[in-house]
Structures are given as C-alpha cells and as structure tokens.
Chains A and B, each alone.
Chain A
C-alpha cells in the first residue's frame, strides 16, 4: 500500500535549472542562476512568441510563418540542436546576431527579428540569454523552413543595405552614472527586450521604426498604424489615444494581467501579456510603467477626455435618439452599460477608453465583429470573453454602433462608415474559446506550480 502522495509540482523547474542533460556545446556548464536569469530575459523579449509554431509547436524550434510585403518568412530554430538549431554558435556568434542581425553564416536576417531593439542589451544580459538558449532549452531537430519569397526578392543583399540604412550602430547599453534607477531600468526594458516599438512606433518607407529611443523625438511609441486588423495605440503619456488617464500602477497591472479599471487587452497584445509580461517581476513592470508615463505627448494640444453623462441618463430612461443608440442598448449595454462605464475590471468602460478617442476606428470595428477575450494569466486566470457580432450586425449597423461608441459620453473618436467596416470584416477572425477541454489536458503548457493552501481559512472559533 502506498502511503505517500508524490508531489510533482516544481520537479520540472528543477530539471530545467540543472540543465546538464540538455547541454551539448559548452565545455563548462554555467551556473543555474545565470540560466534562470536568461530564461527571465527570454520571457521579457518574448522570444517564444515568434520562434515557436503556435500552440502545437515545440518551444523555440521555429516554424512560425509571418507575412511580409514580399512574401512569407518562417522563424528559425533557436534550440541548442547542433544541426537544426544554434547549438554550434559561440557567444560571439549569438551576440553578433542579436545586435546586428548578421548570422554566423554572414547573411542578414529579415527585420521581423527586432535586432535594432535587441542591440541595446547589456553585456551581462546577453551572456545570460546565451546561457539559457544553450543550456536551458530542450534541443529540437526540426529543420528551418525556407522563406516563401520568390526570387529575385529572396536575395538577401537588400537586407544588408536596409541594415546599413536603418539599424543603429550596435552598442551595448551603458547605465548612466546618475538618474532615476527605476526610470532607466524601464527605458532599458522598453527599448530593448520589450521591443515595444516594433509595433507601437510608426515605420518609415523602408519599414524601419521611425525612432528607436525617445531622444530628440516624439514619434517613439506614439502609435504604429494598423497591423493585422488592429490599430496600434500610442503608449506615450498623452490624451487622444495614449496613456494619459492611466496611472503607472494601472499600466503595470495591465501588462501583468491584461486588464485594469480602464480597459481590457485584445488582439496581439494578449499573447504579449500571457507569454511575456505576466512573467516579469512587479519591479520591472513598475519600471516600464514609470518610463512610459515619462514620455511627453506628441501633440500637447490634444484635449483630455471629459465625461458627459447626459446621454447615459437618456438611455437609462429608455429614450433612444439614434439607430446606433438603439443597437447599443439592444446588444451592448448589458455589459458596457447605458452610461458606457462598464464594470471595473470585468467589462471595460467605453466612456474615456483610449481606443475610442482617435480617428482610427479599426480596433473598435474589429472587436465588435470578432469579439474578444482577455488573456488567462497566473494571477488573473479568467479569460472573460465577448462574443462576436459579425453575424448579428451588417456593415451599416456595425458602422452605426461603432460611430455611437466613438462619439458618445464625451468620447472624441470619429464617426465610421460601412465601407470602413467592410474592410475590417475581411480580416476579422471570430474569437475562439480560450478556456477549453484542451486547456485542462495532461501535459499542457503554461502551467505554474500549485499554490499551497492560503491562510484564509479560519479554524472554528472555540464555543
């Protein structure tokens, strides 16, 4: 009879830290501390998001296809496999790739790899990353897929030209002697591993990020146009679509859980939260938030949101003055309320929501058509889901209701046309259930060690 109940939580972590079983290159095995540090940094950089082929792919074994203007490229195998991965790369090889985009074999990678951001990493962090990829990741033999780019576009020398023109001179980050340590840490993370600018900074004619740091410009993180049917907002401390109404704590909370009292995460940001940001320390998240709050507005004249409660009161009494208002009351107010204020962190407010303050309604349209779900994270595991409305509203109705939410309760967004809706409808994808039978299957990814019993349970008081 077995009298012991085995505890398996944490066993995997131990195996990972020891690393000995999976290393095949370095003569000496670096210490577990360095590998763990590297793992943390790899999370911050969200390497797994691109270097893994979706939920079915082996971690870091590559194979994720990404559309570029000239064809499809596939991410590479960066496991320590000697043939298919980077197992035979020295530290110098790794460092050169990360800072300059030039591989061990001499060609330049496509700038889907955000090496212009990673060039800013410190020497110590680069060593840690290398240690992790060599000793903390399981080797996988999946060979790299060739890019689906027709010749002559497949020639690589233009990438070298691109790199000369637009990539910064690689230099490791040097911590200045003076300055707010937390702010500097935040800048380091945001500009470097976070590579937030890869989406949140507008790009020039050569598809290069217009600015890679905040020095001497206000375009850095001021918004990145439309990507994959989502408008990418400004992360600067500004009104009209930026983060002016959020406190630093709320920014940190959003990064960690995908939700705060102002809004809920959607689109591509969900993966960033789930795979990357939720693993950051609270200190690092606070630093990043502080840094973002330090970025001045790109247009200081943009007015702040001012709440207008007149409309909310009308709808409360059942007074409906437009088709958009009728549709909103029929189909949206159940969660977002007649006053547009939503319900705290459960259902986001629309009144004052940064998404609805600009002249780009792409995200608003896309959410209405596709629905959406907040990402499940360790500390906020509920993947609250909004159902898609693509089959309920036609283009005209969608335009009416989105116009309504863009322009009501004081929101400063612009009206929307059916033609705009039709465009977004082509790229919208209905939200999938994110808590499913598969998310409770044996051996699933993304789990954490079980937490021992909370001290909440009081013993019965003596009577």
Chain B
C-alpha cells in the first residue's frame, strides 16, 4: 500500500480521472456532457499532434522507435517479471516485448489503429465452451470467465466508438442483411463503419489473393487510420491516411490516426467544466474510514509536491495493468493469492499469443513494404475464436490472422530468410534483396488466463517515488501454444499459395518461455477483471468496483481473458457502456449497481 502524504489539498471536483488515454478521454467527454466538473490527471507530459507529431521531424525511426521517445520513461518506473510462482522476478529494464505508453493521449496517441469489436462468444467464453464442448473441456487451472455483458448490450457502443474514431471498414451484415464484402464471422451490426475501407497495399493484396485461393474468407480489416477526411460526432476533424509508414510509435502528423488528442480533446477544450493536469502521477486512490468509499486521489505534481484532489467519483483509466497496480497500492479489493486461490486484484492477466510467417520473393517483385499504416491490411477470422470445431483439437481459443503492412523501416524492419547471418556481407546481400520483396503476416492469438498468471506488488524493486513496482508472474501455457501452432499451420497454406522463393516461420514450441527481448505487442489485459461473481472479479458488469462503489475501472484491465483481436475497440466500447450506467443510474442515486 502507498503511504505518501499530501502537502496540498485542491478544491473538490465531481469526478477525477486517473490516466488520460482513450478510456480516460471518453470518460471525460461523457462526464462533462452529464454536467460534472471533471479533472483528468495524467502522469506523463502534455502531447499533441503539433508539435509532437510535427512534419517532418516525426519521421525519424531512431528517435521514435529505437529511442522510444513517446513511450514510458523506464528509468522512472517499470515492472518485474518471473515465469512462475517459485521464481525471483527481475526488472524489465529496456523496452522490448511490449511498449508501455504514457503522456496525454497515452498509447492512444501512437498506437497502430487496428480496430476491432469482439467475437460475441468471447464475451461468454466459459459458458460457450462448456455448452458446446462439455464442462470438462476447459482444463483445471484455466481461469477464463464470462465478461458479464453481452455483445447485444455493447453493440451500440461499438458503433459509436467507430463513429468517434472515424473507423474505415466494410460491414458484412447490418441489421441482419448482408451489405458488402466484410468479415463473414463478425457479430451483427446496427450500422456500417464511419468511412469506407482503406486502400489495400500490394503486400496485403498478395495475401488476400492467396487466402481466397485456399478457401479462406479474407476481408479488408477495419482501420482507425481514416480513409478520407472526416468530422466525427464531436465535431473533431481527421485528415486522410496516406500510408506514410511511420505509424505505430509515432504521433500521426496529418491527423489521420484516431487518437484522444485528435478525436476528443478539441471538443473537451471548448467546455469550462473540464480541466487537464499533465505531469501529475497519481500514487493512490484515497478511501474514507469505512474503506467503502473513495474520497479522491493523491498525486505527485510536476514540482514533486504531493497533492490531494478530493472527488465524489474516481475513474481509474490507467493503462491495462496499471489499474491493478493502482488498486493494490490503494487497498481497493482483496489482492489475489494464487496459492490459496483467493482474492481478486491482479488475477486473470493475459497477453497475446503471436506467430509470424514471412514470405520472400524474387527480385523486382516490389512489394514496397514502406507503404502502409498501422491499421491497414487484410485479415481472416476462419481460425479465430470458436469459428472452427475445437472438439478433436483439445485446446481453447483461436487467432485472427492478417497481413497488416504498417510500414517496414530499415533499422528494425528488414526481414531476411532463414539462415541469414546477422552481420557481414551475407547479411548485407540478404537485406538488399529482401527489403522490397517480402510479405509478412501474423496470427494474433488469444491468450487464456490461468491461476498462476497474475500481478502483485514486487518485494524488492521500486519506482522513482519509492512505490513497489508491479510484479508479473507469467508464462506461456501449452493450451495457447498448441492453438498457435495449429493456426500457424493453417496459415502456411496461404504462404505456400503465394508462391514465394522461401518461407520463414516464427512460432512457439511447447515449453517455450515468455521472452521479453523482441517486440511482440503491448496487449496486456486483466488485473481488474470484470464479471458476474465478486469472488472472481474486481469490478461488476458496469465496471464499478465491488468494494468501493464510487470507483470505476476502465480499459483492457477489465478483460477476464485475452481476446483474439486488438483490445482498443472493446476497451472503448466497454467504457461508453460504463459511462452510460454512471449517467443513467449511478449519478441519480450513487450506490452499488449490482447486488
């Protein structure tokens, strides 16, 4: 628990928001519309398209990728990792496998833009698998659970998120009627996307043709890199994505990647009842004597002073795992203990089970991989979720697969065929040949949750304020590796149908451990899981803390399982869903909303 004491006390506000990324900005917009006085606190610095994404200085791979300019300052705070309960955790000292965000806009400023909803059955993952495959199918120790909310309940919020983001895509079915060449596996929709799909670069087109040829169902995936100039329901404007290839890790210079800074903040600027304070690191949510009610938060400001901000409503919208960290430091909810299997805060931590297939073609193929954007590409859901019969296979979950050309740049992004040395003339020859003649695609697998994969407070290492770091106990499990190998095998057929000179596959083998060195993805989920049962969840289906009813947690921290898709669409839809409950139910009569 954090014991930092405040020197200064601010005037009370109606709502305080901790962490100003996507979910914080959505909550700010919703709460200000409801007439509340809202203060948002962001630990990182103020950031915006201009000047942080200013053209052309932003087009600098070294600064923004190798030197991680927009990402978390690891020297101030990080996490520790161990593979198992018996291990000793060591710090994640350099940014590698995942890239923690920070700053105004959060990771939302510099994310990719892959925009998804969720497979309807993933929201009821446990009951769905038990119904279809029997109660014994899910193994002991796999702690997946239903979210407690249905796709139908979330559908209008998924739709609204897409309208706010300017999401470009093609729906398959709208209100039950097929309207176009979309994803035949997606849940039904009440409306098409905000904009038409993005154009398809050559790399993804080669993938699409091959996927179709082998009988799969490829579609142009939805992207929150706008396919044209756009004005969203808040009056905020986007420019069109021109496939510049400097996407993930960069602030978009021409307003075409949806971000809180572009899509929500201009509207918040215009209302008097919203205030944003940057460089304010919340160290604790404060509770009253009963421990059942929050009185506000304490934060460290830019001058290093500890400040108390009283508030009637606290929204925890820190990035994913950081919400669990905040709850643990604040004493909200019982910390999870994997040995006794009791407690809730920190349980159900999930990552993403990735594999990659790279195809190498002859010279003068000119795949031009420098052309692309974070959300661009072609995907297929044939092997995602429960879209195929798991009965004979003996694992839970699946992977969407896609060719997502986001812009390959030379320092980090030139793939070479199997067996290429890492240096020397042979390496040089290989990169020269490969760069313009490669197509890469991924299987972006779901990740189940397990009894012994969780977070808690580290006993040894601290952040710059002397607070205990968050400790991850996490490793890959056989279930997810088997799933990944199965899907990768299916996707090899696509690679072969593309008729390359050679194919290189990166897939895990059973027994492989979590490796933090090479970049995979930043899609951590869980830690403050949502659910119907307070014994296995931290927040109820409205994302309200079971223990402290004026505290709500939003973001992928509430997922009780790692879904197959990228999490942003679902995290944001859940935030609007929670905001609706706050506006329509909680504000009128503040109380626990679920008995």
The answer on direct contact between A and B (beta carbons under 8 Å) is yes
What are 6 contact pairs spanning A and B, CB under 8 A?
Answer: A345-B237, A380-B231, A382-B262, A387-B54, A431-B50, A461-B155
Contacts of A460 in B (CB 8 A): 152-153, 155-156
> Does any Cβ of A come within 8 Å of B236's Cβ?
yes
In whole angstroms, how far apart are the Cα atoms of A27 and B267 in the complex? 42
B368 in contact (CB, < 8 A): no
Those 4 A-B pairs whose CB atoms lie nearest each other, nearest first:
A381-B266, A440-B276, A346-B229, A447-B272
Whether A346 and B273, one on each chain, are in contact in the complex, defined by CB atoms closer than 8 angstroms, is no
Rounded to whole Å, the gap between the CB of B498 and the closest CB of chain A is 27
B-side contacts of A6, CB under 8 Å? 14, 37
B 220-267 contacts with A by CB, 8 A: 228-231, 233-240, 242, 244, 253-255, 261-262, 265-267
Secondary structure of the A contact surface, majority rule: loop
Whether A450 contacts B160 by the Cβ 8 Å rule is no
Task: Flag if B34 contacts A9 (CB, 8 Å).
Answer: no
What is the minimal beta-carbon distance from B68 to any residue of chain A, in angstroms? 22
Cβ of A288 to closest chain B Cβ, rounded Å: 22
B312 is contacted by which of A2, A381, A437, A440 (Cβ under 8 Å)?
A2
Asked if A435 and B237 sit within 8 Å, CB to CB, the answer is no
Chain A residues with CB below 8 A from B56, complex form: 331, 387, 392
**Which one of A96-104, A314-322, A371-379, A397-405 contacts B?**
A371-379
Q: Measured between alpha carbons, how far is A458 from B481 in the docked complex, in Å? A: 40
Task: Give the number of A-B contacts (CB < 8 Å).
Answer: 159
Answer yes or no: B433 CB below 8 A from chain A CBs.
no
Given contact pairs A2-B312, A5-B35, A435 touches B14 in the complex (Cβ within 8 A): no
Chain B residues with Cβ below 8 Å from A343 are 228-229, 239-240
Q: B587 an interface residue at 8 Å Cβ cutoff?
A: yes
Contacts of B190 in A (CB 8 A): 458, 461
What are the residues of chain A within 8 A of B271 when measuring CB–CB? 9, 447-451
Across the interface, do A347 and B254 meet the contact criterion of CB distance under 8 Å? yes
Question: In the complex, are the beta carbons of B255 and A384 less than 8 A apart?
Answer: yes
Other A-B pairs beyond A334-B242, A453-B33, A460-B152, 15, CB < 8 Å:
A5-B35, A5-B36, A376-B266, A381-B236, A381-B267, A384-B239, A385-B49, A387-B51, A437-B276, A447-B272, A448-B272, A450-B32, A450-B271, A457-B580, A460-B156
List of B residues within 8 angstroms of A453 by Cβ: 30, 33-34, 583
Nearest-CB distance from A103 to chain B (Å)? 36
Q: Say whether A56 faces chain B, with CB atoms less than 8 Å apart.
A: no
Which one, A7, A451, A463, contacts B152 given CB within 8 A?
A463
Closest to A430 in B: B51
In the bound complex, what is the Cα–Cα distance between A387 and B236 (angstroms)? 20
Given contacts A435-B48, A452-B33, A461-B190, contact A346 B255 (CB under 8 A): yes
Contacts of A5 in B (CB 8 A): 14, 34-36, 312, 587
Q: Does A178 contact B (CB under 8 A)?
A: no
Given contacts A9-B35, A382-B262, contact A346 B238 (CB under 8 A): yes
Instruction: Give A5-23 as 1s and 0s: 1 = Cβ < 8 Å from B's Cβ atoms.
Output: 1111100100000000000
How far is B61's CA from A427's CA once the two chains are assembled, in angstroms? 34
CA distance A347 to B242 in the complex (A): 13
In this assembly, does B147 line the interface, its C-beta being within 8 Å of a C-beta of chain A?
no
Contact A385 B50 (CB under 8 A): yes
Chain A interfacial positions (CB closer than 8 Å to B): 1-3, 5-9, 12, 331, 334-335, 343-347, 373, 376, 378-385, 387, 392, 431, 433, 435-437, 439-442, 444, 446-454, 456-461, 463
Does B270 sit within 8 A of A, measured CB to CB? yes
CA distance A346 to B14 in the complex (A): 36
Q: List, in ascending order, chain A residues with CB within 8 A of B265's CB.
A: 435, 440
Residues of B with C-beta under 8 A to A384: 237, 239, 255
Contact B272 A8 (CB under 8 A): yes
The docked-state distance in angstroms from the alpha carbon of A90 to that of B376 is 67
Closest to B256 in A: A346
Contact A433–B272 (Cβ < 8 Å): no
Residue among B48, B49, B254 making CB contact with A335, cutoff 8 Å: B254
Answer whether residue B269 sits at the interface, using C-beta atoms and an 8 A cutoff.
Answer: yes
Q: Shortest Cβ distance from A431 into chain B, in angstroms? A: 8
Q: What is the bound-complex CA distance between A387 and B34, given in angstroms? A: 36
Least Cβ–Cβ distance between A190 and chain B, in angstroms: 27
State the CA gap A431–B51 with chains docked (Å).
10
Task: Point out which of B30, B244, B270 has the most chain A C-beta atoms below 10 A from its C-beta.
Answer: B270
Q: Residues of A contacting B293 with CB < 8 Å?
A: 1
> In whole angstroms, how far apart are the Cα atoms of A450 and B230 in the complex?
23
- Contact A387:B50 (CB < 8 A) given known A439-B269, A442-B275, A451-B33: yes
Q: Report A266 CB to chain B, min CB distance, Å.
A: 15
Residue of A nearest to B59 (CB): A334
What's the minimum C-beta distance from A74 to chain B, rounded to whole angstroms? Answer: 30
The complex places the Cα of A435 from the Cα of B587 at a distance, in Å, of 31
What's the interface size class on B, roughly?
35 or more
Are B156's CB and A9's CB within 8 A? no
Q: Is the CB of A382 within 8 A of B237?
A: yes
Task: Judge if B590 is at the interface, Cβ distance under 8 Å.
Answer: yes
- Give the CA-CA distance A225 to B564 in the complex, in Å: 61
A370 to B583: give the CA distance in the assembly, Å. 45
A24 to B276, CA, bound (A): 37
A373 to B266 Cα, complex, angstroms = 13
Out of A3, A12, A383, A450, name the residue touching B33 (CB < 8 Å): A450
Could you tell me if B37 and A381 are in contact, using CB atoms closer than 8 angstroms?
no
Chain B residue numbers with a CB within 8 Å of A440 are: 265, 268-269, 274-276
Interface centre among A3, A331, A387 (most CB of B within 10 A): A387
Q: In whole angstroms, what is the CA distance A6 to B13 when docked?
A: 9
Closest A residue by C-beta to B269: A439
Most buried by A among B55, B104, B156, B242: B55
In the assembly, what is the distance between CA of A346 and CA of B240, in Å?
8
Complex Cα gap A89–B229 (Å):
52
Q: How far is the CA of A441 from the CA of B153 in the complex (A)?
A: 36
Whether the pair B235, A379 counts as a contact (CB closer than 8 A) is yes
Q: A346: which B residues are within 8 A, CB to CB?
A: 229-230, 237-240, 254-255
Q: Does B163 sit at the interface, judged by CB under 8 A?
A: yes
B278 within 8 A of partner (CB): yes
Closest to B155 in A: A460
B98 at the interface (CB under 8 A from A): no
How many angstroms between the C-alpha atoms of A435 and B266 in the bound complex?
8
The CA-CA distance from A5 to B274 in the complex, in Å, is 14
Q: Is B461 interfacial (CB 8 A cutoff)?
A: no
A441 to B268, CA, bound (A): 11
Quick check: is B185 within 8 A (CB to CB) of the other chain? no
Judge whether A334 and B152 touch: CB under 8 Å. Answer: no
Q: Give the residues in chain B near A378, CB-CB below 8 Å.
A: 270
Closest to A261 in B: B229
Most B CB atoms within 10 A — which of A331, A433, A437, A448?
Answer: A437
Instruction: Contact check, B156 vs A458: say whether CB atoms are below 8 A apart.
Output: yes
B residues less than 8 Å from A7 (CB atoms): 35
With A and B bound together, what is the CA distance between A463 and B50 in angstroms? Answer: 46
Residue of A nearest to B58 (CB): A387
B35 touches A435 (CB 8 A): no
* A387 proximity list for chain B (CB < 8 A): 50-51, 54-57, 253
Q: Taking the complex as formed, is B46 at the interface, i.e. its CB lies under 8 A from any CB of chain A? A: yes
Closest residue of chain A to B274 (Cβ to Cβ) is: A440
Please, which residues of chain B bring their CB within 8 A of the CB of A3? 589-590
Measured between beta carbons, the chain A residues less than 8 angstroms from B269 are 376, 381, 435, 439-440, 447
A435 to B576 CA separation, bound complex (whole angstroms) = 25
CB–CB B160/A456 < 8 A? yes
Min CB distance A98 to B, Å, is: 32
Q: How far is the CB of B274 from chain A (nearest CB, A)?
A: 7
Task: Give A318 Cβ to nearest chain B Cβ, in Å.
Answer: 12
Chain B residues whose CB sits within 8 angstroms of the CB of A463 once the complex forms: 152
A residues near B239, Cβ cutoff 8 Å: 335, 343, 346-347, 384
How far does the Cβ of A402 sit from chain B's closest Cβ, in whole Å? 18
Kindly list chain A residues whose C-beta atoms are within 8 Å of the C-beta of B580.
457
Contact A380 B237 (CB under 8 A): yes
Looking across the interface, which residue of chain A has its beta carbon closest to that of B57? A387
- A454 to B580: give the CA distance in the assembly, Å: 12
Name the contact of A448 in the complex, choosing from B46, B244, B270, B587 (C-beta under 8 A).
B270
B20 CB to nearest chain A CB (Å):
10
